[in-house]
Structure 1
Amino acid sequence: MKFFQVKTVEETFQLISEMVTPITETIRKPLFEALHFVLAEDIVVREHVPNFRRSSVDGYAVKARDTFGSSENMPGFLTVSGEVKMGQEPPRGLQAGEAMYVPTGGMLPEGSDAVIMIEHCEDISGLLNLYRQVAPGENVISIGEDLKKGEILLAKGTKLRSQEIGALASQGITEVSVWRKPVIGYLSSGDEIVPMEAPSLELGEVRDINAATVGALVAEWGLDFIYGGIVRDSREELEQRTRDLLDRTDCLILSGGSSVGTKDYSVEVIDSLGAPGVYVHGISIKPGKPTILATANHKPIIGLPGHPASAMIIFHLFGKAVIDTLRSVKMNHLKLTYAKVTKNIPSSPGRTDYIRVRLFEEDNEWYAEPILGKSGLISTLVKSEGMIEIASESEGVHKGDQVPVTLFQ
């Protein structure tokens, strides 16, 4: 394969969607163990939420027409006919000219169609003074207004966060069918790489930074991570170690050994692991051009650049896309915000640039300050909170431009 027959960013995402086969194995999980799993079934609303009309405020249930014309200058008057207790039915229905106290979330009595907030009225010995009028439906949550029976609550392919867990609990669902989580394996390669726990470094050595960074991201995304250690620059060792780790995992990540060099066996070794092999070897992107993507016997393989900043950006973009496709989550679920860039950033047309940025707020505006530096600098990772994309057809961005910022999760 000729090196750097590069793909565009768009072509790379398209190839990922075509080449990565989702895991089809499903398991049943209790609700309290389902966090970060992906639903393998549609969940249908079993019952209306709420299943009774309730108040959204502390106040008095009324017939809206009885309040018309009420104001601070000319209050209206209603008779207080009782009180609704939380978790209980109202003691009676509401008649014309009456009001009944109801707490937030309390059930509304029959005959009422609005609630006047307690701040806008005054109970004087059973006579309610109204200082404003309310419209029909005001401060009322109707039956099924939140969730309607028979509708889709959560679609298949939804990643379960804390809020989805709560929505399932609202329906009395205590167990769900989910896709099995992929297990992610990782190997670092290079004679210069030493374990992160090494007490000291010889000249030319670097600790295995990428293993810690990638492993933390995998854990952040709710997946299992197997660290396979460090492989020296030996084709035989690399082939044996990658083959062994691929057998134990669903996706293999290699760091280093993706650029041109006399000891670079990555592409040949990956191609030897199984068909169809490498389908991306080089992306028109900065940083991270020497990126490898492959599939071996339905298992994706990602070859990350060795430089820490390049590896992190590539893994955020393409590693997440591969893993999300593997676990049947829609791609491009990236956290975005918007900010004004603080300086001009030139770019070369024909290449997509990703610039690390620091975010800060000033005069109620958010700003993105570029963190410029070579892709091997660890300090640029620590200082940055996100990245901005400069599209391949652009020549850069100008100071003051409002730009989307992908947040590092």
Structure 2
Amino acid sequence: MKFFNVKTVTETLEVIAGEFQPNRPPIEVPLIDALEMVLAEDVRSGEQVPHFARSTVDGFAVLARDTYGASDSLPAFLDVTGRIEMGKEAAVRLMEGQAQSIPTGGMLPSGADSVVMIEHVEEVGDMLNVYRQVAPGENIIRAGDDVKAGELVMSAGQRLRPQDLGVLSAIGKTKVRVYPRPVVAILSTGDEIVPADKKDLAPGEIRDINSITIAAAARQCGAVVIEGGIVSDDYASFALRAKELFEESDLLLLSGGSSVGTRDYTEQVMQSLGEPGVLVHGVSIKPGKPTILAKAGRKPVMGLPGHPASALIIFHLFVAPLLQRLQGQKPAAYHQRIPARISRNIASAVGRSDYIRVKLEEREDGMWAVPVFGKSGLISTLVKSDGMVEISANKEGILEGELVHVHLFQ
């Protein structure tokens, strides 16, 4: 196979951003089912949260100025005129010189502007001795402090986390419009590849690693996975199974068969699925140069390297952002990055982006990234790694002690 449309990492990401978007319309789902799905519309609150002022402690609702100067030796004296119950309206207005007992979360009575904690008072009959002064607003949440009526609570493109579901619940939102979870089909190729559950391997056979790791990575990105099995290096059977899976999915991933070889049919199969066809035929990157990206109609098809570590690195770099696009997620770096210093010199070839697997070590002088070396076929190198460091195409390497940014693996 001849690489005829090799692009840089940046150019490949630009192709993904320019060519792909959600290919299925938004759906409405119950809030409880929306975790890790992506909002398809802006959400504004029709009400304020909380809709009443409330206490954040057990204590007594007071007017703050009535407590000024209070101390252990000279307490302030207030009249206890009521007791507020949880879930009930505070119907009696608080007047100057008065206090009302209030539980955590209880409604603040009108006239009160603060709450003194129960630990700082002594109740003697209908008299309250206050031993510590409070400031206006202390120990209370005012109406609308959390969310104001009409406020933009969440924007389209937000991936919903547990706390996001919480605020939507607080404003009475029980259903949300989201993008469907993308369906990702994975097909492994190669005469040497056998199912992972095969107990006794014949000489030359290799258990299918990529179907497991890539499927797991896709699910981490919110996708539903179709495990398409394994096909041999035969164009007819490869093309037939690829077409079947393509019809059932939003993204087809072909694992293996993308290296230089006389029986390499990946590019031909991808072209056969529809126009415009192959967009990227090789990426100037190590590991992972034999990566192919195509578009058939509105759907993406991607050929991943057969070597397990290479395939997973390419997934992190390109497939994860592609899945973000298919779910309508806001443009954002897929990887969490943290700064660290590289622990040794690493050479690199100009004109190619190198991704070095690293393990993080926290030392007395800060965080260090220790390279984990190994060939792209060794999945164990990723098990030992916390993330990867990019050496950009315009650099000849990085020097020991140089500050780098580690792309963390999930």
> Could you tell me the TM-score, scaled by structure 1's length?
0.90
Tell me the equivalent position of 2:145. Answer: 145
Give the Cα–Cα distance (whole angstroms) in 2 for the partners of residues 322 and 314 of structure 1: 11
Give the Cα–Cα distance (whole angstroms) in 2 for the partners of residues 268 and 73 of structure 1: 89
Tell me the equivalent position of 2:206. Answer: 206
Give the Cα–Cα distance (whole angstroms) in 2 for the partners of residues 126 and 340 of structure 1: 62
Deviation by residue 1:13-59 (Cα, 9 ceiling, x = unmatched):
11101111322423222223333332222222121110001122333
Give the Cα–Cα distance (whole angstroms) in 2 for the partners of residues 220 and 119 of structure 1: 47
Q: What is the correspondence of 1:91-170 to structure 2 with a 5 Å cutoff?
A: 91-170=91-170
Tell me which amino acid in the other structure corresponds to 1:202.
A
SS at structure 2 position matched to 1:107: coil
Give the Cα–Cα distance (whole angstroms) in 2 for the partners of residues 390 and 58 of structure 1: 57
Q: What is the correspondence of 1:238-253 to structure 2 with a 5 Å cutoff?
A: 238-253=238-253
Are 1:338 and 1:366, in contact at CA under 8 Å, matched by a contact in 2?
A: no
Are 1:79 and 1:97, in contact at CA under 8 Å, matched by a contact in 2?
A: yes
Percent sequence identity is: 51
Tell me the equivalent position of 1:11. Answer: 11
SS at structure 2 position matched to 1:227: strand
Q: How many residues are matched?
A: 409
Tell me which amino acid in the other structure corresponds to 2:325.
T
Give the Cα–Cα distance (whole angstroms) in 2 for the partners of residues 19 and 149 of structure 1: 38
Are 2:338 and 2:408, in contact at CA under 8 Å, matched by a contact in 1?
A: no
Tell me the equivalent position of 1:190. Answer: 190
Tell me the equivalent position of 1:38. Answer: 38
Give the Cα–Cα distance (whole angstroms) in 1 for the partners of residues 365 and 108 of structure 2: 42
Tell me the equivalent position of 1:370. Answer: 371
Deviation by residue 1:251-273 (Cα, 9 ceiling, x = unmatched):
10011122222222222221222
Q: What is the correspondence of 1:217-228 to structure 2 with a 5 Å cutoff?
A: 217-228=217-228
Relative to structure 1, the CA distance from residue 120 to residue 366 in structure 2 (aligned partners, 3 Å threshold; closer, same or farther) is farther
Are 1:23 and 1:182, in contact at CA under 8 Å, matched by a contact in 2?
A: no
Deviation by residue 1:202-255 (Cα, 9 ceiling, x = unmatched):
222211100000111222233211111112112222222212211121110011
Q: Over aligned residue pairs, what C-alpha RMSD do you find? A: 2.6
Deviation by residue 1:157-183 (Cα, 9 ceiling, x = unmatched):
222332222222223222222223221
Tell me which amino acid in the other structure corresponds to 2:322.
V
Offset at 1:295?
0.5
Tell me which amino acid in the other structure corresponds to 1:111.
G
Tell me the equivalent position of 1:291. Answer: 291
Deviates more, 1:42-51 or 1:79-88: 79-88
Q: What is the correspondence of 1:57-76 to structure 2 with a 5 Å cutoff?
A: 57-72=57-72, 74-76=74-76
Give the Cα–Cα distance (whole angstroms) in 2 for the partners of residues 312 and 240 of structure 1: 26
Tell me the equivalent position of 1:353. Answer: 354
Relative to structure 1, the CA distance from residue 4 to residue 371 in structure 2 (aligned partners, 3 Å threshold; closer, same or farther) is farther
Deviation by residue 1:272-330 (Cα, 9 ceiling, x = unmatched):
22111111122222222221111011110111111111111111221011111112112
Give the Cα–Cα distance (whole angstroms) in 1 for the partners of residues 351 and 133 of structure 2: 62
Give the Cα–Cα distance (whole angstroms) in 1 for the partners of residues 82 and 294 of structure 2: 71
Give the Cα–Cα distance (whole angstroms) in 2 for the partners of residues 56 and 8 of structure 1: 55
Moved over 6 A (4+): none
Give the Cα–Cα distance (whole angstroms) in 1 for the partners of residues 386 and 194 of structure 2: 27
Deviates more, 1:335-344 or 1:85-94: 335-344
Q: What is the correspondence of 1:303-318 to structure 2 with a 5 Å cutoff?
A: 303-318=303-318
Relative to structure 1, the CA distance from residue 93 to residue 102 in structure 2 (aligned partners, 3 Å threshold; closer, same or farther) is same
Tell me which amino acid in the other structure corresponds to 1:325.
R
Give the Cα–Cα distance (whole angstroms) in 2 for the partners of residues 286 and 77 of structure 1: 76
Deviation by residue 1:37-90 (Cα, 9 ceiling, x = unmatched):
322222221211100011223332221222223345654343333332211122
> Could you tell me the TM-score, scaled by structure 2's length?
0.90
Deviates more, 1:389-398 or 1:246-255: 389-398
Offset at 1:394?
4.5
Give the Cα–Cα distance (whole angstroms) in 1 for the partners of residues 72 and 346 of structure 2: 61
Give the Cα–Cα distance (whole angstroms) in 2 for the partners of residues 380 and 338 of structure 1: 20
Structure 2: stretches of 5+ with no match in the other structure: none
Deviates more, 1:292-301 or 1:394-403: 394-403
Tell me which amino acid in the other structure corresponds to 2:328.
S
SS at structure 2 position matched to 1:138: coil
Give the Cα–Cα distance (whole angstroms) in 2 for the partners of residues 165 and 308 of structure 1: 36
Structure 1: stretches of 5+ with no match in the other structure: none
Give the Cα–Cα distance (whole angstroms) in 1 for the partners of residues 108 and 394 of structure 2: 59
Relative to structure 1, the CA distance from residue 367 to residue 101 in structure 2 (aligned partners, 3 Å threshold; closer, same or farther) is farther
Are 1:34 and 1:160, in contact at CA under 8 Å, matched by a contact in 2?
A: yes
Tell me the equivalent position of 1:83. Answer: 83
